[in-house]
């Protein structure tokens, strides 16, 4: 009796192991960026991405900022190695649009907007969008780009940067596995 039950559960586990890779590609993809301090700042944080039903939900949590508004963008290159994060390049812009405000075309795919840090330097932001995908390698794929937080506010007008100033935190978006 024990032997039968064990054999059954092992068979089930094997079936699940086969089913999971296909399901993960279709939905439920996740990614994360760990934000490290840049340009001599003390800002650090984490950004998570999860795809459900054709939409990506991004959750940002940053601490160590100066109080007030700070631009946050997704930049083209997944490279935060430079001390000033200049290695991350310009804003992620797969549609060759002008810089602008999120949901008010024209705007870059990476134009998330502004974080507002509290007096204690903490900021949170949640964004849900069908403009992005996760881990599919398409031009809309967030994975492999970099999340950058700036010293100043994004004015949504100045091209192509929003006049957001220096880069105080940077993290490469990496797929969870
Ligand atoms: Cu930026
Ligand atoms: Zn932009």
pTM equals: 0.85
pLDDT tens digits along 5-34: 444 444 444 444 444 444 444 458 999 999
Backbone angles phi, psi at 166, to 5 degrees: -65, 170
Q: How far is the CA of 14 from the centre of ligand 2 (A)?
A: 47
- The average pLDDT across 157-177 equals 96
Q: How far is the CA of 73 from the centre of ligand 1 (A)?
A: 4
- Nearest ligand to the CA atom of 93: 2
DSSP for 57-70, please give it.
EEEEEEESPPSEEE
- The average pLDDT across 21-50 equals 85
Q: Is the peptide bond before 106 cis (omega within 30 degrees of 0)?
A: yes
CATH of 22-175 given 2.60.34.10, 3.20.20.80, 2.60.40.200, 2.60.120.620: 2.60.40.200
């Amino acid at each position: 009796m024990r032997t039968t039950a064990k054999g059954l559960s092992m068979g089930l586990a094997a079936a699940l192991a086969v089913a999971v890779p296909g399901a993960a590609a279709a939905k439920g993809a996740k990614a994360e960026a760990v934000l490290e301090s840049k340009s001599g700042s003390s800002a650090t944080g984490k950004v998570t991405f999860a795809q459900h039903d054709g939409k990506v939900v991004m959750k940002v949590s940053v601490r160590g900022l100066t109080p007030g508004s700070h631009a946050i963008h997704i930049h083209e290159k997944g490279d935060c190695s430079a001390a000033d994060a200049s290695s991350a390049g310009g804003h992620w812009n797969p549609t060759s649009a002008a810089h602008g405000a999120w949901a008010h075309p024209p705007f870059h795919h990476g134009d998330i907007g502004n974080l507002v840090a509290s007096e204690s330097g903490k900021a949170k932001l949640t964004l849900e969008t069908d403009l992005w995908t996760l881990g599919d390698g398409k031009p809309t794929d967030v994975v492999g780009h970099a999340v950058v937080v700036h010293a100043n506010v994004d004015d949504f007008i100045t091209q192509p940067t929003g006049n957001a100033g220096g880069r105080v935190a940077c993290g490469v978006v990496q797929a969870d596995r």
